[in-house]
Structure 1
Amino acid sequence: MSSSASLSSAPAPTPRASRQALGPWPASPAAFDALNPADRGFLLACGSLRTIADGEAIAARRGEEAALGFVLEGQLERAADPAQSGRTSLGAGMVLGLQDFLQVDGRIAGHDQAIARGGAAVLLVTHRELRGRCASAPAFAARLFEVLARTLATPAEARAAGDPELQELERELEELQHILHDAEVAALAHQGAVPEAEAQTVQAVFRRFVVQLHRSLGPDSRRSEAECEAIGRRVQRVVLPYLLLTETSERLYAKPRGYAGDSVSIEGIYANQAAGRGRLGPLLDACFLAEPAAQAVRNRRGLLAEEIRAVLARTPERPVQITTMACGPAREVFDVFAQLDDPSRLHVHLIDFDHEALEEVARRAAERGLSAQLSLHHANLIDLSLGRQQLDLPPQDLVYSIGLIDYFVDKLVVRLMSYGHRLLRPGAEMILGNFHPANENKALMDHVLDWRLIHRTEDDLDRMYLESAFGRPAIRFRFEQAGVNLFAFCRKAGEPASRGSEC
């Protein structure tokens, strides 16, 4: 019988066994040691134990629901499916359906299938039950994700043979797993806190891993896009469960408002206070917050505040009008007001499609007595750029966006530039920020966190300004201190309303 025939004729799931029938938790592999007796009791109570004969098929499902399959005994072999990544065989201590479980939108949930080789025992627990327990018991969630991380395969084992670059990536990944295990053990011996020496080692190893991942899968990689994606999926299977213990990376991956860089995520990066679940979560959060991409997010806040102050300095004779597109938390605006002797000199129009972000800005403005200086516009910038929606704004002295166009294709960026051009008074400037390909975190963002941004060069932004209503390239570029976020300035033709220079 062929593999495909075996899979299509997979036996129906056996009825749920009672906890008494299952007896105590089987002699489980070391990978499951992080689970305490209460955790195991929960899994036994809500799970279904499948005993599979040699040659029988099993899918990561219980009835109609997607499930995670904990392999307690025996050996499974995945079907010959090029869409699957990671190990083709799963022994005791491995998990069936892990990639499906980590897909928060459920796009492929329950598709992982395998065949028993010599018989196997698999405990199936539905995603619904596991996620419900994780939501109600954060400590259980931390232990579960630790188990998932320990059960994962080394990425691209077969492809690494004969490829020095991938061999180095494999070594760095193995070293990261080992050092995280050592840090966990050290924390258990120190009242749950990772000692400083071990924490510094973890941070150094994490940095080396990120750099090697960038070399192997970043913009300068010699590999095809398809090959990078395949290797990236394998790396994700190893690293993501660890990063899901953190507060920052978990939110970037989960995207509860539909996109990674929402106002809460950006506020968390601004705050730069590491947090997370379990003993490793806060430490790994600190690792991510120290990466160049996170530094760039913090740095760009100060850069835009400087540019707003420069416009105020060039326009002493009248109030200044500025617009921020996709304003998010708008911390740079509040930074400027905090140092402004006369708040009436500045009026800011804040546009965002995220009403929760605007509500947070409105609350902060009210607390600081600045509500009269801010106009909040709940609007979609795509609709505004395409003329499907209108805002009645006075001529603007500055229009800017910190982190928007990284999400837009070139044609839409050109339309956005033209919309900004219409808002500006003659001689005023538009500033657009974009991640640059020099970003060493691009591979981590793309392949592990699924935070995919369009990285662009100076030439890219020049070309788009030329295609827009500006009809000219950028007048200058500016990087924040980490060299990751590039800002392109362009000026509307005509005489400025007051004297200035292009600096």
Structure 2
Amino acid sequence: MPLEFSEIAGAAEDLNARREQRRKDKEPKTFEESRLELLLILEWARLRFADQEEPANAIVHGLVMRLNEFRNACDPAIWRELLPEAQRHSLGDYLLQDPFTRRSFDKPRGYSGDGVLLDLLYRHPSIEPRVAESSLLGQDIYAYTSISSSAVAVRERRDLLGEWVDETAARVRTPEILAIAGGHLRESEKSVALAEGRVGRWLSVDQDPANLAVVAEDYAGKAVETLAGSVKGLVAGTHDIGQFDFAYSAGVYDYLPDEAAVLLTRQILARLKPGGSFVFGNFSTEVIPDGYMETFMNWQLMMRTEAQMRALAEASVKGQDAQAEVFFGRNRHIVYARITRKS
């Protein structure tokens, strides 16, 4: 049952008393203390939605910041244990009216980051009817979540991929491009080289047939090809995909442990032509909406630090004639590795 304001005030006083006693005793935060603290955060937001006196963007922003701070301070094991309780909280009745949050939480294709969800992040014209079908509150929440810091980073990633394809086309005549788990391949819409017919082949490998169908329809008549394939198949080398001047993975590494990530990287490097490069991105540990994503979007990612990304890249090029560099996107929410094959 939702708490009334007087109950929340009493719970806050109890939490402060527990904190003070814990500090005196020099003891770590208990599960119950963490649980109460999270409950207060969720009730803070729920009451504000119920009062209808504040704009939705202000409420969601406050919730995102509080969840981020709480997650960062919480014991990881306790945080994982609290996730189901947060996801059952009645605050979700408000937040899940947002088509972006709802799409991730429901996972209609079995995973969060499908092509439709990315189109929602991109604010792509194709999803305008879906947004219009949402409640007014859902549209207001989407107006915030779709311009959050993580959404900005994803849109920048799309634009960068288009730029890197164009840079490749300036270096190589009719280059061959590989997209791993390409989704709806919206970065291709940002490529001047593709629009001008200066790309030889742009292959999108994806295991989701719905993603491939959109790519085949939207980019018919261009140099875009599709292949039904998985990361497992790429690692095993079972897909005969050819050689490439530029290859990239936008989001696959968010789900790969280090060993699998290195195996995939080495397989892709073997598919590069001399002078070709492979870029892969990963959400960094500096992502601010992480707590919101893991609770109300039910979206867990394997975020990496700059040092972890560098170690992954260096392990991938060991014994190869290749050079690796690691860098952040503008707001540091995505960290990239670029590996260039020298010969």
TM-score, normalised relative to structure 1: 0.58
Letter aligned with residue 281 of structure 2: G
Corresponding residue of 1:235: 86
Do the aligned residues in 2 keep the contact of 1:299 with 1:482 (CA within 8 Å)? Answer: no
TM-superposed deviation, 1:302: 0.6
After TM superposition, list the pairs within 5 Å mapping 1:221-300 onto structure 2.
221=73, 223-238=74-89, 239-271=91-123, 274-275=131-132, 277-300=134-157
Do the aligned residues in 2 keep the contact of 1:217 with 1:443 (CA within 8 Å)? Answer: yes
Corresponding residue of 2:45: 176
Q: Give the Cα separation in 2 of the matches to 1:276 and 1:438.
A: 33
TM-superposed deviation, 1:358: 0.8
Letter aligned with residue 254 of structure 1: D
Corresponding residue of 2:271: 423
Corresponding residue of 1:307: 164
Q: Give the Cα separation in 1 of the matches to 2:319 and 2:341.
A: 9
Do the aligned residues in 2 keep the contact of 1:470 with 1:490 (CA within 8 Å)? Answer: no
Corresponding residue of 2:212: 358
Corresponding residue of 1:491: 340
Aligned residues: 317
Do the aligned residues in 1 keep the contact of 2:98 with 2:139 (CA within 8 Å)? Answer: yes
After TM superposition, list the pairs within 5 Å mapping 1:357-376 onto structure 2.
357-366=211-220, 369-370=221-222, 373-376=223-226
> Does 1:378 find its partner at 2:232?
no
- What is the SS of the residue equivalent to 2:165? helix
Pick aligned residue for 1:403 from 251, 261, 265: 251
TM-superposed deviation, 1:341: 6.2
Bigger relative CO (Cα 8 Å, ≥ 6 apart): 2
- What is the SS of the residue equivalent to 2:239? coil
- What is the SS of the residue equivalent to 2:191? helix
- The structure-2 alpha-carbon separation of the partners of 1:265 and 1:341, relative to structure 1 and needing over 3 Å to count, comes to closer
Greater Cα shift, 277-286 or 244-253:
277-286
Pick aligned residue for 1:333 from 188, 198, 219: 188
Q: Give the Cα separation in 2 of the matches to 1:471 and 1:452.
A: 33
TM-superposed deviation, 1:351: 0.6
After TM superposition, list the pairs within 5 Å mapping 1:167-206 onto structure 2.
172-183=41-52, 198-199=54-55, 202-206=56-60
Could you give the per-residue CA deviations for residues 426-446 of structure 1, whole angstroms, max 9, x where no partner exists? 221110010000001112112
Letter aligned with residue 341 of structure 2: K
Q: As a proportion of its length, which structure holds more helix? A: 2
Could you give the per-residue CA deviations for residues 21-62 of structure 1, whole angstroms, max 9, x where no partner exists? xxxxxxxxxxxxxxxxxxxxxxxxxxxxxxxxxxxxxxxxxx
Letter aligned with residue 216 of structure 1: F
TM-superposed deviation, 1:474: 6.3
Letter aligned with residue 229 of structure 1: R
Q: CA RMSD in A?
A: 2.8
- What is the SS of the residue equivalent to 1:461? helix
- The structure-2 alpha-carbon separation of the partners of 1:477 and 1:467, relative to structure 1 and needing over 3 Å to count, comes to closer
TM-superposed deviation, 1:340: 5.0
Pick aligned residue for 2:300 from 443, 452, 455: 452
Q: Give the Cα separation in 2 of the matches to 1:363 and 1:470.
A: 40
- The structure-2 alpha-carbon separation of the partners of 1:149 and 1:411, relative to structure 1 and needing over 3 Å to count, comes to farther
Do the aligned residues in 1 keep the contact of 2:244 with 2:276 (CA within 8 Å)? Answer: yes
Identity of aligned residues (%): 26
Could you give the per-residue CA deviations for residues 302-354 of structure 1, whole angstroms, max 9, x where no partner exists? 11111111111222xx21111010000111113214x6563144421111111
- The structure-2 alpha-carbon separation of the partners of 1:345 and 1:236, relative to structure 1 and needing over 3 Å to count, comes to closer
- What is the SS of the residue equivalent to 1:250? helix
Unaligned residue ranges in structure 1 (runs of 5+)? 1-93, 95-147, 187-197, 495-503
Do the aligned residues in 1 keep the contact of 2:309 with 2:326 (CA within 8 Å)? Answer: no
TM-score, normalised relative to structure 2: 0.83
